[in-house]
Amino acid sequence: MSSAASRLLLAAAAMIALPFAAPSQEQALRRTFQQGSVENYRVEVTLRAELHGVKTETIGAKTYVHPFTREAEGNLRWTASRRVERLDATAGAAEITESLEGVAGDCPSAIEKEAEAVALSPTIQPFCDEWKPPRVLRYRETNDGLLRALDEASLGVTKAGCPLLDLWSRHALRPNAILPAGALRIGAREEKKTPVHLPGMSPGESSEVIEWLAAPHGAAVRLHVTQQVALDRPAQDRSGSGGFRRLEWDRFFAESLSTLSTLDGGLIDATRSASCETSYTDAPVEGLNEPPKFSFKLSLTVTIHRAP
């Protein structure tokens, strides 16, 4: 974390809106804000659902397996305009209003009318319905990029069926970046591993890798972050009427590459993606050595570019 003196200097720079030096490679990069400033961004989002499994067919004394894949996705784009409404110089934070306008796209795309695709429609359609209307978000952003007082019900992919992806998306869709506490050192790589305990899951592990990279030009730097979470599920009977389904594991992976200004820590552009995959085993089928296995993968891709 930056020192108290550094925080005061950054806050003062934001208040008087004077030029200031970029952080050295022995200091943490921090966000500074200017009263009344406006930043405009173009945002593109794709939510994709994939179901992989097998169909079985018995002909005479033999049972045959036919692999299948079902896919569906929704694509949206909009313009995000962020305005700094009020500064808190002591905390180095700002009250932000973010307006989302001009929402358009192909959402959802065609979904195959197959029995195995039944899990796809409830995933994509709510995302499209929730994000198409224009909206205004209000939140508090601290100088390390964390967002406070953000209405969680008004963003994310809450009905997509993957809580980890929903949590990740709440920040990934915003045109800013969470800044590491450590010093900005080009080429430095930091890895953290922590245990994960979630209801209904066996203990798992999460890992995060943070790396600073040089930007191709200008007063900028790139922040590369990858996150992984692996959770094993105890055997669970998730049958409907007349079938057995045992959940095996959940995997979550996220990657973000953000280009940031070294002058104020603001976002210039970003490419972010995350996926959540669940594997399960169906009821045994006579004639097969192993019961059929299926996997469901949900992925979200976000690209953000600052507009002139």
Res. 87: pLDDT tops 90: yes
Res. 84: pLDDT tops 70: yes
Between CA 158 and CA 300 the distance in angstroms is 13
pLDDT band for position 80 (cuts 50, 70, 90): very high
pLDDT band for position 132 (cuts 50, 70, 90): confident
Between CA 67 and CA 103 the distance in angstroms is 37
How many alpha carbons lie under 13 Å from residue 290 in its C-beta half-sphere?
Answer: 6
Of 205, 212, 149, 217, residue with least CA distance to 177: 212
**Pairing status of strand 267-282 against strand 38-59:** unpaired
CA distances from 262 to 146, 255, 267 (A): 18, 21, 10
Helix or strand holding residue 9 (H, E): helix 4-16
> Per-residue pLDDT tens for 11-30?
333 333 333 345 555 799 99
Long-range contacts from 206-212, C-beta under 8 angstroms, 24+ separation: 206/230, 210/180, 210/182, 211/187, 212/184, 212/185, 212/186, 212/187, 212/188
pLDDT at 118: 56
The structure's pTM equals: 0.81
Between CA 67 and CA 127 the distance in angstroms is 28
> Per-residue pLDDT tens for 184-228?
999 999 999 988 776 666 667 889 999 999 998 889 999 999 999
pLDDT band for position 280 (cuts 50, 70, 90): confident
DSSP 264: T
pLDDT at 201: 61
